């Protein structure tokens, strides 16, 4: 621990004894740091770390931490009451200025494939977990501070984060959860009182920005890359320890009562099959709501099948299967929306390859991997049938699904609005004009709706109506079912940017949106908690992306810069 940090901690805790601080009552279990080998070198300097699963790291001190926002449901999950959330100690702890009693802070080491190429050692370059706690419901959650300073895995960076990326991570973690998408959570967003220099566009124009820290929450932050790195180094002892620990800690239901101390090949294969299944389910949910992760490197793939690491993500406004939100990926488009399912399959194959040295017979691993395609295809078809209000799939529905994905590309069509408004189509509408009318608000450029395009859209709508007539489902029932899976509100990039503008003091004069009001973070969070409800007072947030957001930084594509 540095002298500066020690002095800061003593200065703060001099004023109040440890026993008086509620966060010291968190029930730290710290299984990861207790049961797995640690890096013996305590220096937070970039270096190669071998034969260890993590390094113990102390968060960097911050100048004047202040709470910007928190997720009340996450605080409740962790057993933290509202009075504690609003205390100064909460901001101190979740900015890293004070470690509560029982904390064992650490950063994990892992490797990964980045944009398809093996990158070697990576690790938590700007994330420090303050520890794992037992929650009041009997579960386990790890509390991780993103932007908490240097770790041995920071490489050439400073380990810090800025407000804009932190707001996006905080909001999206919670938005995804309430949409029903498997995800890590976010407890808090804290301004540090420090400035962090970033070159947002990588164009040689760095500038100081507001520093911030998000406390991320998950049962585990273990990634595919945690297993890839020791496998690549031939460190089978560490690989075995990591696999055994992960299965016993996070997948205990897979361990037979009579399992030996060293897990059997059958248990490892069953675990891998479950990771494959969970990943397929997660990807189907991404596709359902129009989410594009942007950086599907293997080090950004959760072993629990959770969406993890919200960097240059994006939501489809106009439906474009080739769109990526990541400027770094603009040329290759490896992680574009429509390519996410096969990328997940490829990433799972890399994880499976890392496990082959632990399993004598590789065929069961291959069989488990092969199941991804069927799991995803079946899940995708069922998801699309639900979005269309079809109920159980019947013969010919695959053609109907392919057809709707095609007509979405005929004109610039807002995906979220299209599916939401499709629920308003009367089953008995008998003219092309009546069939198209509920969908008109979904089109960005009405002039693209030529007679030829309208005819092609109507051909599909007529076929869809015929299928609805076959199902015989009352319009009101179908609408209720469709509205339950087709959100009205998603975290469009421009909405997050308006929140950032508000915290920073308002939209800058060159933003192209000078007459646009900013958005209060809690007001938006309240809507995102119930994304399938109507919220008529916030109808504008459910509308199409405004024209000024097409090109504005933060509203279209984003870089990997924090």
The dihedral region occupied by 202, where left means phi > 0, alpha psi between -120 and 50, and beta the remainder, is: left
**Which residues are catalytic, by number?**
299
Mean of all residue pLDDT scores within the chain:
92
Whole-number Å distance between alpha carbons of 409 and 406 = 6
- Which residue bears the tokens 């015929």? 466
User: Of 219-228, 332-341, 515-524, which range is least confident?
Assistant: 515-524
> What confidence score (pLDDT) does residue 560 get?
66
* pLDDT given for residue 5 in this prediction: 29
Q: What is the structure's pLDDT at 556? A: 75
Q: What is the mean pLDDT of residues 282-299?
A: 98
Backbone phi, psi, residue 294, to 5°: 95, -30
Separation CA 429–CA 426 (nearest Å): 5
What single DSSP character describes residue 509? T
Give the pLDDT band (50/70/90) at residue 550.
Answer: confident
In the structure, what pLDDT confidence band is assigned to residue 323 with cuts at 50, 70 and 90?
Answer: very high
Q: What is the pLDDT of residues 230-250, one digit of tens each?
A: 999 999 999 999 999 999 999
Residue 14 pLDDT class (50, 70, 90 cuts): very low
Rounded Cα–Cα distance for residues 540 and 338 (Å)? 28
Q: What percent of the chain has pLDDT over 90?
A: 86
8 pLDDT above the threshold of 50: no
Mean predicted confidence (pLDDT) in 529-554: 93
Mean pLDDT for 469-480 is 94
- pLDDT, tens digit, for every residue of 89-128? 999 999 999 999 999 999 999 999 999 999 999 999 999 9
Q: What is the pLDDT of residue 199?
A: 82
Instruction: Tell me the average pLDDT across 134-152.
Output: 97
Q: Which residues pair with 307 in a beta bridge?
A: 183
For residue 344, pLDDT beyond 80: yes
562 has a pLDDT exceeding 60: no
Question: Which pLDDT belongs to residue 16?
Answer: 43
Q: What percent of the chain has pLDDT over 70?
A: 94
CA dihedral 155, 133, 178, 306 (to 10 degrees): 50
CB 499, CB 519: distance < 8 Å? yes
């Amino acid at each position: 621990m540095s002298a500066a940090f020690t002095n800061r901690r003593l200065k703060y805790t001099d004023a109040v004894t440890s026993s008086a601080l509620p966060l010291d009552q968190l029930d730290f279990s710290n299984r990861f740091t207790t049961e797995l080998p640690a890096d013996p070198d305590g220096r937070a300097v970039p270096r190669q770390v071998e034969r260890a699963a993590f390094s113990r790291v102390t968060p960097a001190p911050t100048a004047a931490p202040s709470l910007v926002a928190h997720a009340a449901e996450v605080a409740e999950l962790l057993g933290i009451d509202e009075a504690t959330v609003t205390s100064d100690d909460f901001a101190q702890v979740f900015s890293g200025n004070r470690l509560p009693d029982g904390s064992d802070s650490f950063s994990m080491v892992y490797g990964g494939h980045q944009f398809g190429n093996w990158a070697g050692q990576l690790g938590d370059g700007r994330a420090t977990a303050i520890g794992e706690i037992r929650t009041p419901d009997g579960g386990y959650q790890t509390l991780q501070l993103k932007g908490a300073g240097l770790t041995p895995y920071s490489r050439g960076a400073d380990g810090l984060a800025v407000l804009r990326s932190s707001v996006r991570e905080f909001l999206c973690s919670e938005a995804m959860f309430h949409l029903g998408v498997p995800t890590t959570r976010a407890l808090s967003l804290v301004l540090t009182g420090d400035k962090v220099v970033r070159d947002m566009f990588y164009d040689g124009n760095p500038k100081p920005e507001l520093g911030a820290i998000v406390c991320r929450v998950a049962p585990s932050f273990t990634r595919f890359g945690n297993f890839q790195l020791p496998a690549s180094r031939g460190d089978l002892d560490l690989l075995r320890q990591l696999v055994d620990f992960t299965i016993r800690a996070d997948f205990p239901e897979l361990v037979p009562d009579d399992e030996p101390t060293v897990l059997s090949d059958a248990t490892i294969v069953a675990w891998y099959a479950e990771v494959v299944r969970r990943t397929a389910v997660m990807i189907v949910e991404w596709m359902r709501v129009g989410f594009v992760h942007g950086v599907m490197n293997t080090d950004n793939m959760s072993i629990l099948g959770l969406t993890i690491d919200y960097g240059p993500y994006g939501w489809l406004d106009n439906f474009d299967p080739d769109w990526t939100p990541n400027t770094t990926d603009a040329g290759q488009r490896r992680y574009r929306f429509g390519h996410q399912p096969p990328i997940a399959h490829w990433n799972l194959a890399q994880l499976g390859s890392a496990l082959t040295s632990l399993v004598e017979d590789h065929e069961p691993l291959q069989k488990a991997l092969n199941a991804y395609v069927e799991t995803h295809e079946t899940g995708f078809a069922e998801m699309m049938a639900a979005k269309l209000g079809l109920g159980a799939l019947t013969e010919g529905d695959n053609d109907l699904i392919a057809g709707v994905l095609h007509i979405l590309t005929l004109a610039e069509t807002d995906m979220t609005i299209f599916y939401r408004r499709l629920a308003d189509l009367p089953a008995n509408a008998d003219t092309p004009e009546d069939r198209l009318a509920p969908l008109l608000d979904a089109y960005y450029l009405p002039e693209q709706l030529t007679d030829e395009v309208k005819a092609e859209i109507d051909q599909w709508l007529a076929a869809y109506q015929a299928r609805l007539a076959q199902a015989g489902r009352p319009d009101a029932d179908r609408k209720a079912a469709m509205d339950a899976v087709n959100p009205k509100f998603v975290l469009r990039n421009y909405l997050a940017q308006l929140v950032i503008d508000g915290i920073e003091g308002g939209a800058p004069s060159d933003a192209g949106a000078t007459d646009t009001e900013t958005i209060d973070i809690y007001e938006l969070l309240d809507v995102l908690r119930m994304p399938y409800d109507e919220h008529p007072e916030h109808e504008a947030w459910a509308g199409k992306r405004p024209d000024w957001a097409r090109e504005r930084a933060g509203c279209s594509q984003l870089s990997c810069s924090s």
